[in-house]
A = this chain, B = another copy of it.
Amino acid sequence: MDGLTEMLKGTLEGCVLEIIGAEETYGYAVTRRLNELGFTDVVEGTVYTILLRLEKNALVQVTKRPSEQGPPRKFYALNDAGRAELTTFWAKWEFMTSRIDKLKEGAR
């Protein structure tokens, strides 16, 4: 599935938030997870920019740990602000999808 780029704006960050909220993890693994989910076109560079933004906005706690395979990993975990952001993300998602599904079903 391609051409999802524009549609993912604003939601991809929420997905990343959800993924690292479920379990402390690192950029490369987040990319793999998104690819597994079906977002096959999402590439590492994209995820890293999101991660850097989350860090800049103080929504995550970062811990650098050595890896057995390759360079050290930056592990991300949500802090309180991050969890709050995730909650409002799902609220917005719920709101938007419900309205659009209503439109789709031809509600007047």
Contact = CB atoms under 8 A, between A and B. Distances in A.
Interface of A: 1, 3-11, 15, 18-19, 22, 37-39, 88, 90, 92-93, 95-97, 99-100, 102-104, 106-107
A39 B10 CA distance: 16
Given A7-B10, A8-B10, A1 B95 contact: yes
Given A90-B104, A103-B18, A4 B95 contact: yes
Nearest to A96: B7
A104 B6 CA distance: 20
Which of A5, A19, A38, A106 has the largest number of chain B CB atoms within 10 A? A38
Contacts of A95: 1, 4, 38
Given A1-B92, A4-B92, A37-B102, 5 more contacts: A3-B88, A8-B10, A37-B103, A93-B104, A97-B97
